[in-house]
Amino acid sequence: MSTNQEPGGRSFITVRAAELAVAAFTAIVGAVVMHGSYEQGIGWEDSGPQSGYFPFYIGMIMLAASLGTIVLTLKDWRALARSFVERAPFAHVMSVFLPVCVYGVAIRLLGMYIASLLFIGWFMWHAKGEVRHARWKVVVVPAAVVLASYLIFERWFQVPLYNGPLLAHFGIGQ
Amino acid sequence: MQEFSYLLDGMLVVTTPYHLLLMVAGVLLGILVGVLPGLGAPNGVTLLLPLTFTMPPTAAIILLTCMYWGALFGGSITSILFNIPGEPSSVATTFDGYPLARQGRATEALTAAFSSALLGALTGVLLITFLSSYIAKFAMSFSSPEFFAVYLLAFCSFIGMSKNPPLKTVVALMLGFAMAAVGMDTISGNLRLTYGMPELLKGISFEIAVIGLFGIGEILCTVEEGLVFRGEHAKISVKAVLKTWASLPKYWATLLRSAAIGCWMGITPGGPTAASFMSYSAAKKFSRNKDNFGKGELEGVIAPETADHAAGTSALLPMLTLGIPGSATAAVMLGGLMIWGLQPGPMLFVEQKDFVWSLIASMYLGNVVSLIVVLSTIPLFAAILRIPFSIIAPVIVMVCTIGAYSVHGSMFDVALMFGFGALGYLFKKLGYPIAPLVLAAVLGDKTEGAFRQSMLFSNGELSIFWSNPLVGTLTTCAILLATWPLLMRALKYVTSGFNGRTVKN
């Protein structure tokens, strides 16, 4: 249960570091909620509690619980030195998460269709392991998927997708 | 009994070609969504919601519930064939399902899983059929304090009863409430917590959180082990199916017990996931072949599946009668009902009786349709998972993005969704539960409304929550449930303290 990672077996990211980071994040969120609610008024008025009353205590409880988690993490400092994630798995996660973030920004600039084309193409181009895609597939498959989504979403379900400033410049889309 | 005649009326409404087509479509979509990691039942239902706005509520809810059953089935397929639980509630199915598949007994495992799932689901629907009117009638006497107490009970049961650390559950709950609070205050009309950002005027929708936490977060977790899927083959032979069906009755005790556990966990917000684990452990404890559990014991597949589906179905009972969802997917459906202008709760049974009984009738049909569809399409879905990860993963992310965008047409929501994705990854790994977050996000406004109304009645006295036996019991139970782990520990300390000092762990 308690694994002491002495020098020689140091984890990439330890559980205790991750716990502290997340608990700190939620503590900050709690504080922000408290602050925002305070501005709305946390007292009483004729029509009952003011707007900020309920969220203020929500934020307070969140802050308190987060601080509690931080305290518990500090208490178990030694035991929680075990690994949260190792270098290789983390690299795998980042190899998906980072392109996803870039995709998000790309949608904002290039619109949903072009960004998706590049996004799927990127993953196919960088496919590791068993499957290596032929060059033509890297172009055709994303194009087919994007065309299909256009037909399904914009035509059939009538859900307009974001076209972005680039296409708008050419007079396409909103 | 009156319920039968209502049920028959509902059956008549539901058995039209259009509705049956919707059932099949819903199940197929559901299996697809359950089979692909990153798209689970809550996520899939959320993605379909905007598409249902143009449908009549009856058709829409049939589509969504059938998708729910389909997703539960789909999760079992990947659990057994690929050792990848497509749903959190199908994790327990991997314990014995995958070993069975490796022994070449995939058909048996799949058939047993689906059939016991059907039986579990039918138990849940029977429960709904006969209990819902009584509960709804009973809930008619509820006023704001009672409603708040019931909500409190639901939230507190998460804190005390789940195996997640209580503090983390509290944080998840509060996060959900905070999300619900952003935007316009429903009572006074003030803008809250928007910090001057116009994008936050419409608040943070629960759909964004669900898609991000369950969708992107799930993919990130799955990807840790590598960006690839590997699985066993499965072809359904009718002979094997019939043979397995013939062998099911001898597991009647397991089926009954698992169904009971599932129904209980569905009604109290334990959820299908907790139900499946509890049922597996119980089956293992009571079985004659307990040593074979984990190595390919059919009972080890029957138990969690029955409980899982029983819970999934009965989670709709408190959702319909009290407006309290018993699972994350039920929470999303509740959100959907509210968006369509329906108010789940006791008034639904009075004002929208046709809708409710059509829904209940559709659950019987939907489950049977699901079984037929899933048995005939397993090879198709198994093949889909052979599509390389490098194509499937980005397509899933794209679908999630479209889903998030379609909620309000806002790119800010998309960015928020990615943020929730990262949070989902961290939360899952650190043991922060996500279901209570979704519940709080969906119920936040109503809970706050009930609280403020109660405070208005009582002029700020908290004692209104103990003003009559009903509300007092509910509130006290809520507090007891929330502090249960503390109480248990205190009790243990006190009783063992008399036998000398306990060893600090």
pLDDT tens-digit readout, B123-178: 998 888 888 878 877 777 778 888 888 888 878 877 876 777 888 999 999 999 99
DSSP, res A174: -
Q: What is the C-alpha separation between B456 and A47, in angstroms, rounded?
A: 7
pLDDT of B92 above 50: yes
Q: What is the mean pLDDT of residues B319-340?
A: 82
Q: Which pLDDT score, from 0 to 100, does residue B426 have?
A: 92
Tokens 């006190």: give the residue: B494
Q: What's the pLDDT at A21?
A: 92
B28-43: burial string, b at 16+ Cβ within 10 Å, e else: bbbbbbbbbbbbbbbb
CB contact under 8 A, A92 and B223: yes
Query: Which chain B residue has its CA at the smallest distance from A27's CA?
Result: B171
- Which of A124-128, B35-39, B405-409, B418-422 is the least confident region? B35-39
Give a yes or no: residue A1 inside a domain.
Answer: no
Angle in degrees, 0-180, between the axes of helices B353-384 and B106-139, rounded to the nearest 10:
160
Question: What's the rounded mean pLDDT across residues B338-344?
Answer: 83
Q: Are residues A63 and A131 in the same domain?
A: no
How large a percentage of chain B has pLDDT more than 70?
94
ipTM comes to 0.84
| Listed range (A55-64, B184-193, B229-238, B378-387) with the worst mean pLDDT | B229-238
Q: Tell me the per-residue pLDDT of A96-122, one tens digit each, with 9 for 90 and over.
A: 899 999 998 888 888 888 888 888 888
Other CB atoms within 10 Å distance of the CB of residue B501 = 7
Cβ within 8 Å of A, B 314-333: none
Residue B499: pLDDT above 60?
A: no
Confirm or reject contact between A85 and chain B (CB < 8 A): yes
| Chain A nearest C-alpha distance from B175 (Å) | 7
- Both A99 and A80 in one domain: the answer is no
Cβ atoms of A109 and A169 within 8 Å: the answer is no
Average pLDDT value for chain B = 82
A153 touches chain B (CB under 8 A): yes
pLDDT level of residue B228 (50, 70, 90 thresholds): low
- Among A85, A103, A134, identify where a domain stops: A85
User: In whole angstroms, what is the distance from residue B276 CA to residue B305 CA?
Assistant: 7
Residue A139 placed within a domain: yes
Using DSSP bridges, classify how beta strands A48-49 and A83-85 pair: parallel, antiparallel or unpaired. Answer: unpaired
| pLDDT-derived band at B231, boundaries 50, 70, 90 | low
Burial of B274 (0-12, 13-18, 19+ CB in 10 A): buried
| Closest CB to A129 among B175, B228, B422 | B228
User: Comparing B88-97, B268-277, B461-470, which segment has the lowest mean pLDDT?
Assistant: B268-277
Is the same domain home to A38 and A50?
Answer: yes
| A158 in the same domain as A120 | yes
Answer whether residue A68 is part of any domain: yes
Answer whether B422 touches A (CB < 8 Å). yes
Q: Indicate whether A100 belongs to any domain.
A: yes
The size of chain B, in residues, is 505
Same domain, A53 and A117: no
Residues of B with Cβ-Cβ distance to A18 under 8 angstroms: 426, 429-430
pLDDT band at A69 (very low <50, low <70, confident <90, very high): very high
Give the count of beta carbons closer than 10 Å to the beta carbon of residue A20: 17
Whether residues A145 and A102 fall in one domain: yes
Residue A3: pLDDT over 50: no
In a domain, A141, yes or no: yes
Q: How far apart are CA B7 and CA B359, in angstroms?
A: 9
What are the helix (H) ranges across B56-162? 57-82, 91-102, 106-139, 144-161
Shared-domain flag, residues A153 and A109: yes
Most B CBs within 10 A among A54, A57, A118, A137, hence the mutation to make, goes to A54
pTM over 0.95? The answer is: no
Tally of structural domains, chain A: 2
Q: Which of A85, A104, A129 is the last residue of a domain?
A: A85
Closest CA to B112 of B99, B130, B93: B93
- Average pLDDT for residues A84-100, to the nearest whole number? 87
- pLDDT value, residue A5: 40
Give residue A28's pLDDT.
Answer: 94
Instruction: Assess if residue A8 is contained within a domain.
Output: no
Q: What is the pLDDT of residue A158?
A: 63
Alpha-carbon separation of residue B57 from A71, B2, B65, B204 (angstroms): 49, 24, 12, 24
Considering the domain architecture, whether residues A128 and A162 belong to the same structural domain is answered as: yes
- Residue B159 is predicted with a pLDDT of 81
Selection from A19-23, B102-106, B215-219 with the highest mean pLDDT: A19-23
- pLDDT recorded at residue B505: 45
- Whether A67 and A118 map to the same domain: the answer is no
Mean pLDDT of the region B428-441: 85
Among B198, B231, B237, B227, residue whose Cα is nearest residue B375: B237
What band does A61 get if pLDDT is binned at 50, 70 and 90?
A: very high
Q: How confident is the model at residue A9 (pLDDT cuts 50, 70, 90)?
A: low
The whole-number pLDDT of residue A166 equals: 66
- Domain span holding position A163: 87-169
Q: Is the pLDDT of residue A23 over 90?
A: yes
Distance of residue B425 Cα from the nearest chain A Cα, in angstroms: 9
- Which range (A159-173, B37-51, B436-450, B482-496) has the least confidence? A159-173
Give a yes or no: residue A25 inside a domain. Answer: yes
Question: Which of these, B361, B320, B353, lies nearest to B338 by C-alpha position?
Answer: B320
Q: Is B51 on the interface with A (CB under 8 A)?
A: yes
Based on the fold, state whether residues A121 and A54 are members of the same structural domain. no
Per-residue model confidence (pLDDT) at position A174: 42
* Residues of B (221-260) whose Cβ lies below 8 Å from A: 223-228
Question: Of the ranges B79-88, B298-307, B308-317, B461-470, which one carries the lowest mean pLDDT score?
Answer: B79-88
Which of A85, A120, A138 corresponds to the end of one domain? A85
CA–CA separation, A124 and B389 (whole Å)? 9
Report d(CA B299, CA B284) in Å as an integer.
8
pLDDT bucket at A172, cuts 50 / 70 / 90: low
Are A165 and A94 contained in the same domain? yes
Per-residue pLDDT at B419 exceeds 90: yes
A95 shares its domain with A146: yes
Establish if A173 touches chain B: CB-CB under 8 angstroms.
no
